[in-house]
Structures are given as C-alpha cells and as structure tokens.
Chains A and B, each alone.
Chain A
Amino acid sequence: MATKIKDYYEILGVKRGASDDEIKKAYRQLARKFHPDLNPGDKSAEEQFKQVQQAYDVLSNAEDRKLYDEHGENWRAVKAGAGAPPPGWEGATAQGSPRGTGGFDFNDFDFGSFRTSDEGGFDIFEELFGGAGRGRGPRSDRGRDVEAQLELSLEEAHQGGRRTLQMQTGKTIDVNIPPGVRDGSTVRLAAQGGAGSNGSEAGDLYLHIRLRQHPIFQVNGDDLEVELPIAPWEAVLGAKVEAPTIDGRVEVTVPAGAKSGQRLRLRGQGLNKRKGGRGDEYVRLKIVVPTEVSAEERRLFEELKRVSQFQPRS
C-alpha cells in the first residue's frame, strides 16, 4: 500500500509562506536534534532526519519549492515531465535507499555529494571538498562510501564467522568476520559501497560492529565477567563448581572462606584477541541462601546458630 508523503512544511514546522531563512533555521534546529551522527544507532532519529532532509532539499530549492507549492506531492512527477503521476508513485522516495536485512542497518547518507557552501563562519569546506562544491580543485566520480551497523552476538565476535548481508538491490555480500572483533570495531569492505560513475571505482562499505548484550557475560575489553551463585556452605568449606565460559562450562575451585563479590580469575578464558591470544574471565562469587528449607535443613541451621562463634557485625 502506498504511503502518503507527509507535508514538507509540516515536517519542518514552518508556515507555507516561510522565508528561506525561516526554513533554514527550522532545518538546522531539527538537524541538531535528529542528525544521525549525533544519534548513532538510533533508527527513529535517522528516519526523522531523512524526512527533515528530504523536506529541506525541496523547500530550500526555489524551483522545487515552487513546483511543490503548485502540485503538492505530485511535484516530482511534474518535474520529471511525466504529466500525470503514475499510479502508486506516492510511496516512492526520491532516491533508492540501500537498506539491509537481517539486523543490518544502513546509515545511508549522501556522503559523496555536497551542497554549495553558502553559510558563514570559519569555512574551510571549500578547501576540503574542493571541486565537489564549487567546481574547483580535485573532482572524483568515485562512488559513495556507505556506513552501516552490524549487530553481532558475543559468540560471533569471539569466534568470528561469515555473515551474508543482503543489499536492497538484491545483491548479497558474504562478509568474513574475523575472531576478536569488538563493540566499536569497523570492518571495511573495499568497493562495496555506492557505484562510481564514468568508470570510477566504487565507494567502500564500512560496517560498524555493535555487540548485543549477553545475558550472562559482561565484557570489559578482552575480559569477561560472570556472576556465579554459590551456597553458604560452599563459600565456607570451599568447593569445586561448574562455571560458564564463552566456550562452555569449566570446573572452578571455590576456595574455603570465599566472600560474596570475590573474583576468581580464569586465565585465558576471555575473548579472542584480534592479533592472537585471549583475555581472561573473572568469576564473581555471589553467596545465595535457600528461600525454602526442609525441616532437617532448618534443624541444622539452628544447630549452627547455637554452636557458631561467628560475629558478622563485630
């Protein structure tokens, strides 16, 4: 079903007769709020920014704005010289937006095209982007770089593996995730971004790795930490108990007289490092007590209370 395009003036929160300055001011205010570079990973902000950007692109261009004012949401078809808009066109967007599937979110911004810099202030824009903005200096038809987020489980980051990503174009890319990537790592896939023009090379695809929170492990650099519940008698007497690691369960020796919060180090049981080796795992002991006790257990605790010299608050 076609989605009705929201009114561009409404998106920017300005009146239809708003001046260029008012439109720019409204755009800047909303851009500050929703800009994806200020709200990394926030899909809602990204979607809102895309709407704001689209509205501003049209309303900041005198010719496009005039067409929009005259023809409303049909303006683009009129501009394209198509006469009456084709049925169902309302749902189309101005530009194809590569969108990943399977937990793969594209941050699709027009990295490769720049507006003419007409804003005041300290301006080295022209120098940085040379010919791209004003037709001077170096010019490149290289394709756009595309940034995306790729969410991985802790196990995937630890062990590495292959992920197949599907582009909106239908093209699929097999990505090799090496063992030892971390939250915040970036994987670059050369020439997998936007296509270049005039025979130029394609842009690159940058995948920013985000790790899903693990239900039991906390990550601290290369190390892992896990909470391990133990019984009071295991803490007092010491015990051999099983503890989870990222590779499975291992036997851990709880020393006699262990305290709640005490950490036991399992050397080399942490995460794989990118350049070889592994971090450590820390098992944090937590003494827990039974919520229900049998008559026999109660009798034994009563006996312990009677004979114990332990003064926990002294």
Chain B
Amino acid sequence: MWPSDVDLDEPVSCESVAQTVGARRSLVLRLAQQGLIETVEGGADEPLVPRRVVIRLRRMQRLRRDLGVNFAGAAVILDLVARIEQLNRELGERQKR
C-alpha cells in the first residue's frame, strides 16, 4: 500500500516546487508574486505554495510548449477551463433533476 497524499494542501517552499518541475526558484517566486499560482500564509520571508501548484505549473508549461502562450495566458486558460468544468458539472446535476 502506497501512502497517498490527498488534496495537496501541504505548504511547500518555492525552492521545493522549483526543484520538482526543474525550474528556478526565482521564477516560481515571481509567478507567485504575480498571482499566477496559489500561495498560502507562511512565517517565512517568502510565500509558501500548496503542493498542488506543481500540477498547475506542469499544465502551464505544456500550454506554453504546445500552444505558445505565455504564463499569464496559460493561467487565464487554466482558470477558465476550471470554471467550464465546474459549470458542466452543475449543468449535469441540474439536468438530472
């Protein structure tokens, strides 16, 4: 049985996320400061980010690589896709009623 980690709320450092995605810490920090990735309150000098940010960064990278959009654009796309998914779920629920 492998231990599983659910919802990925655990706060981690920008450095840790940067290492995971093969990025520079400075850029993860910049994306956090620009509000393009989520941050959580932390006592440290720089913001911490929830572990799930790794997934968002991967997606942003793929959109950047495959569609040629910049990170600000990728962030907007991901937010819109999430909203569409949410609306689709709500629509499905309503249609069931």
| A115 partner residues in chain B, CB cutoff 8 A | 65
In chain B, what residue has the closest Cβ to A141? B22
Known A35-B63, A37-B59, A40-B81; judge A189-B27 contact (CB<8 A).
Answer: no
Interface residues of B in 63-80 (CB under 8 A from A): 63-68, 70-72, 77-78
- Of B19, B26, B27, B78, which is within 8 A of A140 by CB? B19
Kindly supply a per-residue 1/0 record for chain B positions 54-97, scoring 1 wherever the CB is within 8 Å of any chain A CB and 0 otherwise: 11011101111111101110000110010001000100110011
Residues of A near B1 (CB, < 8 A) are 162, 174, 176
User: CA A152 – CA B51 in complex, angstroms?
Assistant: 23
Within 8 A of B (CB), among A17-76: 28, 31-32, 35, 37-38, 40, 53
* Pair A28/B68 contact, Cβ less than 8 Å: yes
Interface status of A175 (Cβ within 8 A of chain B): yes
**Contacts A31-B67, A178-B4, A189-B4; A142 near B77 (Cβ below 8 A):** no
In the complex, chain B residues whose CB is within 8 Å of the CB of A125 = 61, 64-65
Interface residues of A in 178-202 (CB under 8 A from B): 178, 181, 183, 185-190, 192
Q: Which of A28, A124, A130, A218 has the most CB of B within 10 A?
A: A124
Chain B 5-33: CB-based contact to A (< 8 A → 1; otherwise 0): 11110000000001111111011101000
Query: B8 touching A186 by the CB < 8 A rule?
Result: yes
In the complex the two chains form, is A127's CB within 8 Å of B24's CB?
yes
Cβ–Cβ < 8 Å partners of A119 in chain B: 68
**Most chain A CB neighbours (cut-off 10 Å) among B6, B23, B81, B93:** B6
Task: Say how far A174's CB is from chain B's closest CB, in angstroms.
Answer: 5
Min C-beta distance of B2 to chain A, whole Å: 5
- B70 contacts A123, C-beta separation under 8 Å: yes
Contact with B61, one of A122, A129, A206 (Cβ below 8 angstroms):
A129
CB pair B62 A138 closer than 8 Å:
no
Chain B residue numbers with a CB within 8 Å of A218 are 93, 96-97
Q: Are B20 and A138 in contact (CB under 8 A)?
A: no
User: Given A122, A132, A189, A192, which contacts B72 in the complex, CB threshold below 8 Å?
Assistant: A122
Known: A37-B81, A176-B3. 6 other contacts (CB 8 A): A111-B58, A121-B70, A124-B71, A128-B27, A138-B24, A187-B5
* 18 A–B contacts from the bound complex (CB under 8 Å): A37-B78, A53-B66, A111-B58, A111-B62, A122-B70, A122-B71, A127-B24, A128-B21, A128-B28, A130-B23, A139-B22, A147-B55, A176-B3, A176-B4, A188-B8, A206-B55, A213-B92, A213-B96
